[in-house]
Structure formats: structure tokens, C-alpha cells
Amino acid sequence: MKKWLVAMGLVSLCSLAQAEGGVFLGLSMQLGGNISARDIGVTAKVVSSNREDRAVLGGGINVYPFGSGPTRIGIDVGAGYQGSRFGAMVGYDLLLGRPTLNAGYVNTTSR
């Protein structure tokens, strides 16, 4: 019975945390050093709001298809701005230890 209550509590907390979040899909570029094709990748993030014309915080995963070895995947956190269906973020990749610049699509609403 206790496991059932704990599971219900966790599910209810997750639904509250996702109430106003948005999804960010786009391109990512690592900054610093000599920038090459290895530093360009795709990103998927969860952002703090899905409303238009807002400053947002976000975190997600970056995949660098032309990178080598362990430098192909990164996890970053950042801050940025999103307009109508478009967003840009500046962040820091925690796995690779480099700053990132991201731009792409955001599922926004105008409420």
C-alpha cells in the first residue's frame, strides 16, 4: 500500500512540474577554442515556460554527430529568450565543460 501512495505522489508532482514547461528543439554550437563542424549539433531541451516573449531557463541534451568519442553527447543548462515559436539560449555544457549557443523551435502559446 505504501508503494502505491508513493507512486501516486510522484505522479502528481510530475504533472505539476510540467504544467507550464515548453519544449525546445534546434541547433547547438560549442563556443571557445577553434570552432569546427565537430562543434555543431542538435539539441532537445525542456524550458521553464511555454509562453511567447519571455526570458526562460532550460536544460537538455546536445548530440554532436561529427564529434569523436565521448565528445558526441553533452548535457547543458542555460538561459535565453523565446519569441513566437523561436528561441535562442546561451548555456554551459556540464559534460564537455564548454559554453554553448542554441537556436531553434519552441512550442509557445500566446496566452
**C-alpha cell at position 103:** 537556436
pLDDT in tens, 14-55: 544 445 789 999 999 999 878 788 889 999 999 999 889 989
Reported confidence tier of residue 77, pLDDT bands at 50, 70, 90: very high
- Is the pLDDT at 1 greater than 60, yes or no? no
| pLDDT score, position 4 | 55
b/e per residue, 53-64, with b = 16+ CB within 10 A? ebebebbbbbeb
Residue 71: which CATH number? 2.40.128
Angle at 54 (CA atoms; ends 13, 64), nearest 5 degrees? 80
Task: Give DSSP secondary structure letters for 12-81.
Answer: HHHHHHTSS-EEEEEEEEE-SSS--GGGEEEEEEEES--BSSEEEEEEEEEE-TT--GGGGEEEEEEEEE
Name the domain count of the chain.
1
Report yes or no on 28 lying in a domain: yes
| pLDDT score, position 3 | 55
Report yes or no on 8 lying in a domain: no
- Show the domain range for 102: 20-106
- Is the pLDDT at 5 greater than 90, yes or no? no
| pLDDT score, position 16 | 45
pTM beyond 0.85: no
Report yes or no on 84 lying in a domain: yes
